[in-house]
Amino acid sequence: MALTRRQQWRIDKVQSEKIARSNKASIKAESNVDNNEAGHKGIVITRYGQRQLVELKSGEIFQAVSRQNIGFSVAGDQVLLQTTKEGEGIVTAIFPRKTELKRQERLIAANIDQLWLIVAIEPHYQFELIDRYLVIAEDSNLSINIVVNKIELSKNSEQLESDFSNYQELGYDVHFLSVKNETNLKEFKTKLVNKSHIFLGQSGVGKSSLVNSLIPDLELRVNEISSKSKLGKHTTTNTTLYHIPSGGDLIDSPGIREFQLDNLSEKQIVNGFREFKSLAGECRFRNCHHINEPGCVVKEAVELGEIHPNRYESYLNILP
């Protein structure tokens, strides 16, 4: 639905007010910068409004604003920080990002090495939902693997492994865990070392339990960040980066834990299926939709068993 002229005016007004507040805070911080220091490289661990918390390699955390016109920083960003005489900071530069995770064109987090899709025996995993997440990751050029949680509830381990063998054949790493019984948890932790991760998945699959098992002192971390931000527990609703004691970082983002497909084009959806991508250009017609067109090699691959029927059914259901 198109916005009315008054609605657009209100949006523009709010945006301009936010920019003005940000510029005002930046100017104030600039006047207090300690000009005797060269600056420190740090990582943004959370952002709230016009302010952010930046952690230095020493572990020291500074509340900071950004210098005008350097862009918008998010959790995971590597930045250059100068401290002020009041013990706060100002971000003077954002280093180039390796990766970006967006939702509806809004930047959520940066420099993510690995997405993990968490599914479970209960609520029972659904292939179409799994494929939707994989398409999003492929479209964003982000590496994604799968965790199957609550395997203690499985009554047929052979069927479970068979269900995910197709994903493994496609190159997705699949881990079968029981957070409750700590089954395969130690091995999974080794996969997280020296990388930055985000967990995705629908409600009830055990994401929170997994996070708590990886970061036992999470509540203390939340309290520390809340204290530094001076906003109380309000920051728990923000995208936040936490260090995993056994190695690696976890970016927890309430806004994307259960995100669905954005408005992707048919081409983006096709490219989101790894086994389709290499075949799509070989169809008889350039604009083949891979549904019922003659000479469709994707459809032929399905009939020959080279593409799993569950994946093809997901494709048909995901198409706009």
Please say whether the dihedral angle defined by the alpha carbons of residues 105, 106, 108 and 112, taken in this order, is positive or negative: positive
The arithmetic mean of pLDDT across residues 267-274, rounded, is 92
Identify the pLDDT of residue 1: 45
What span, in angstroms and rounded, lies between the C-alpha atoms of 286 and 266?
A: 13
Worst-scoring range by mean pLDDT, 206-210, 237-241, 290-294? 237-241
Identify the pLDDT of residue 32: 53
pLDDT tens digits, 52-109 = 999 999 999 999 999 888 888 999 999 999 988 778 899 999 999 999 988 777 888 9
pLDDT tens digits, 142-179 = 999 999 999 999 999 999 999 999 999 999 999 999 99
What span, in angstroms and rounded, lies between the C-alpha atoms of 247 and 214?
A: 9
pLDDT tens digits, 32-61 = 555 555 689 999 999 988 899 999 999 999
Domains of the chain: 5-25+34-94 (2.40.50.140), 100-252 (3.40.50.300), 266-318 (1.10.40.50)
pTM: 0.83
Within 13 Å, how many C-alpha atoms sit on residue 174's CB side? Answer: 20
The arithmetic mean of pLDDT across residues 173-188, rounded, is 97
